[in-house]
Structure 1
Amino acid sequence: MSTTIESNTVANNATQYVTTEAGGSQKKQPKVKFLTFNTWGLKFVSKHRKERLRAIADKLAGDKVGTPIEELNVLNEGFTEDEGSIDDYDIVALQEIWCKEDWDYINERCKERFPYRRIFYSGILTGPGLAILSKIPIESTFLYRFPINGRPSAFFRGDWYVGKSIAVTLLKPLTPDTFPIAIMNSHMHAPYAMTGDAAYECHRSCQAWDFSKMANLYKKAGYAVVIVGDLNSRPGSLPHKFLTAETGFVDSWLQLNGQQDIVKISKMTAVDQLKVGCTTCDSQLNTWRAQRQPDEAKRLDYALIDPTKLKTVNASARFTERLPNIGSFSDHFAYTCTLELLSKPGEQNNNVNSEAINQPKQLLQDRFKSYEEMLRCIEKYMVTARKQKFYRGIHFIISVFLIIACIVVTTFTANKAGWSSIFWVLFATVVSVTGLIDGLISFLFGRSEIRALWEVEQEVRDAERHMQMVLDQHQ
């Protein structure tokens, strides 16, 4: 495709210019409309997966799909005609695309509306399930796999096996005076409980720590960074703090609507929760989560943006319609936001030290407290990690002795009861397999996880020491 054609595609598909009444030549800044959607595409687990994913693809391609819920028409109140069709997006970030046939259908169905498409493959089983659809030409892509991402022993949860990652997509600049866009799409480790080991708080916090580091690199490289996806973290949680306070990014929903009282939102009706709090997950209006309690509704799907380069002009929940005889499109609702790209300033200051020094003292103190909270989180989980490694290692050693014992016992019992040999062989096989698996998890994964935790701990301590120096300069 030639450069001329690419430039025309960018201008036609993703920029909106309006001349001023007086000058005639001055233009408004271009706007880009994002959509992020967790599609719930688990094979054999997600109900009506194929039908739902195909309906999602058809809707993204421009078809009228689904029956609107009349009481949710309030979600369209902020929509303006100059943004084009209400369900026409410039960039779509998808999560949980885990079946090849689903991606093949989406890819084929959406190729006309979204000329630039990409799914990310790296992972032990199916890949991270991340995909991007764009009207804006893609310049390059990159996948970063989180080094701390659950445990292989939790095979029934699958997070470790799919390889949770950050899918980075760099887009062609829309205009010469705007920043190029870097989309960082992710689906972070899921919580399987509110507290305890199954909450995976430490894993998600470590992932957010790495995420913030990578986002800062692209931010300092001059990109308008947008962090999108199902981050599995509530507003105000430690991962959310890392992704905002550490990067200087703002939550696009909060930038548009201001700070919100989560407790107050939890007591609202399901319709008001969606309108006021954009509760994309566990809403009673979602047919797959209708049995949830009102206070369980939460916002886990985000677009976090750099406010020095982007400005939110509209945001809402989407894909709230219902499919006949099936239900909601997914167990999440989608989140959309329209972002205005701000012009490049004359000079940019990328000095890290000056950025920190110029921040409000309260923000610096909050960041320092986050570091302390992170160190406590790592210390707490390190106990679990070491126990897991130790007990699995003990299981391996005991298995070795049991196998030797089985061989000895078999030689004596075989002479008296030949059939007993079958029992001992089966017993030794089970012991060998389970012992070997636990041994590998202990000696390979266990060591790797502990060392990765040490690495994050040292990074946090380095940041804590630097922040203490900055705070001292503020006094």
Structure 2
Amino acid sequence: MASDTARPPSSLRILSLNCWGLKYIAKLRNERLVEIGNQIAAATPAPDIVGLQECWTQQDYLAIREKTKHFLPYGKFYHSGIFGGGLAILSRWPIEESNMTRYPLNGRPAAFYRGDWFVGKGVAQARIRMGPRNGDIAEVFCTHLHAPYEAEPHDSYICHRTAQAWEITKLMRGAAERGHVVIGLGDFNMIPLSLAHRIIETHSPVRDVWRILHPDSSVGAAVDKVEQLRNVPMPNAEFNLTSNGATCDSALNTWRWNKAHTQRLNKGENVQIEPTVEDPHAKRLDYIFFSSGTRRNAATGEHTAEWTLKEANVGMTARHPTLYCSLSDHFSVEATVERAAEDPASNSESGPSALPERYLPIETYDEILATIKKYEARERIQRKLRLGHFGYQLLLSVGCLVGVWWSPHNYVAFILMLLSSLGLSLGVLEGLMGGLFVGSELRALREFEWEVSNTRERALVHEGKATS
């Protein structure tokens, strides 16, 4: 299907979904992802741009493409890391350029049970041309930030997620400075108004579409302290979907059900949950951030927004038609933006415009710098311990080899050789992680620290100008 870029669209429908497509781990993966393709194809209105996360295999990506190629003829599956980044972008219009930018800070190889480092998380970027003008170019940034394995501020990976938010913010700001439509979407693994969320909305012109329409929506799960401080009533499942934008841990998602309901579902029973049930754990982790391209009035020199937000909703809540399970452990987040009406009496042209300087409070930069320092101290200790372990295993290996000379029996010699080989192998791994990986991570931390410090200095100057 050819795309007509000579007639730019008057509206743009965007969809983002974490597919939960972990190979060998995610249950009913093939069946669910095929049905995800079916439901995207049946969506009304049909999406124009789709961002997918945790779509790990080409097989699943192609299955979704097969179902949607009649209206989303362009797509890109992004390759990254050892096992792939799990990111894909589908589009109604041609993808002129694409890039996969890996995050400098992205988990630790020692935490193999987490997997974040091995998948090479980053930002999948696509430059999409919807028409002939500058304001018809959309730059799409699809990502999946590092998962929080503990509650903030005790999350040991908060420094990584903060640095990742900082990186994608720079990319989106650059796109906005070119005068293009900016769409940032994905599973950001953060709650609204968290540090990462504030970084994105402050240091780039993009806005969280849900909070534009629902400024009083929740900032976490009802059981979280941050939400309890707001002293709001316990939400039900329907309210969390329609007003709070909860995409994860919903009581309506079958992958979050208790054991009794799951057993009934596994037996083929189409278990139904009332939308009025209390929903204390649901929260919003999936986002669409949006920034409009600008239109300049040639007569007055004024810049106005090329696009405006019309609506946003949580979608993909329908279950599999025969398995009765949810299609993913997340629901989708969707939004529609419309092109602003152009004054026929004016001579307007699309183009870049200067972005205003906006900064976080100074104490927030101090908080980030303190987090960096704390994590850096931890990693320096880790490096010493790992290099020390390498030295210990080396000495132990040499000792075992010496012991072979004096071994009275062959089986004793075999055991000593086995211990020597295993110990030296483990020591080499520890040495590589301590000497190479941690060293690389510390250098990435220095770069991040410099950027934050430099921004803090500019914020101080800006604050002084504002008060003078």
TM range (shorter): 0.7 to 0.9
Residues 1:304 and 2:289 are matched in the alignment: yes
Alignment of 1:70-149 (within 5 A): 86=44, 88-125=46-83, 127-149=84-106
Cα shift readout 1:107-136 (whole Å, capped 9, x = no counterpart): 2332222110110012222x1110011112
Q: Which runs of 5+ in 2 are unaligned?
A: 220-226, 260-277, 293-304, 343-347
Change (3 A) 1:349 1:52: closer
Residues 1:463 and 2:455 are matched in the alignment: yes
Higher helix content, 1 or 2:
1
- Aligned equivalent of 2:263: none
- Aligned equivalent of 1:368: 362
Alignment of 1:177-326 (within 5 A): 178-195=135-152, 199-262=156-219, 263=227, 267-291=234-258, 294-306=279-291, 308-323=305-320, 324-326=322-324
SS at match of 2:112: coil
Structure 2 length-normalised TM: 0.85
Residue type of the partner of 1:313? K
- Aligned equivalent of 2:327: 329
Residue type of the partner of 1:458? W
Residue type of the partner of 1:373? E
Residue type of the partner of 1:257? H
Which segment is superposed worse, 396-405 or 256-265?
256-265
SS at match of 2:329: coil
Residue type of the partner of 2:330? H
Cα offset for 1:406?
0.6
| 1:54–1:102 CA contact under 8 A, matched in 2 | yes
| 1:6–1:137 CA contact under 8 A, matched in 2 | yes
Residue type of the partner of 2:252? L
Residue type of the partner of 2:112? F
Alignment of 1:356-435 (within 5 A): 356=357, 364=359, 366-413=360-407, 416-435=408-427
| 2:180–2:352 CA contact under 8 A, matched in 1 | no
Cα offset for 1:221?
1.3
Residues of 2 paired with 1:195 and 1:412: CA distance? 56
Residues of 1 paired with 2:233 and 2:329: CA distance? 19
| 2:78–2:87 CA contact under 8 A, matched in 1 | yes
* % same residue: 33
Q: Which runs of 5+ in 1 are unaligned?
A: 16-29, 63-84
Residues of 1 paired with 2:409 and 2:134: CA distance? 87
Residues of 2 paired with 1:235 and 1:269: CA distance? 19
Cα offset for 1:389?
1.4
SS at match of 2:80: coil
Residues 1:474 and 2:466 are matched in the alignment: yes
Residues of 1 paired with 2:191 and 2:36: CA distance? 26
- Aligned equivalent of 1:53: 33
Residue type of the partner of 2:316? F
| 1:266–1:273 CA contact under 8 A, matched in 2 | no
Change (3 A) 1:42 1:266: farther
| 1:141–1:168 CA contact under 8 A, matched in 2 | yes
Cα offset for 1:6?
3.5
RMSD, aligned CA: 2.3
Residues of 1 paired with 2:413 and 2:377: CA distance? 42
Change (3 A) 1:212 1:177: closer
- Aligned equivalent of 1:163: 120
- Aligned equivalent of 1:42: 22
Q: Work out the number of aligned pairs and report it.
A: 421
Which segment is superposed worse, 147-156 or 134-143?
134-143
| 2:397–2:423 CA contact under 8 A, matched in 1 | yes
Structure 1 length-normalised TM: 0.84
Residues of 2 paired with 1:440 and 1:382: CA distance? 18
SS at match of 1:89: coil
- Aligned equivalent of 1:152: 109
- Aligned equivalent of 1:445: 437
Cα offset for 1:420?
0.5
Cα offset for 1:249?
1.8
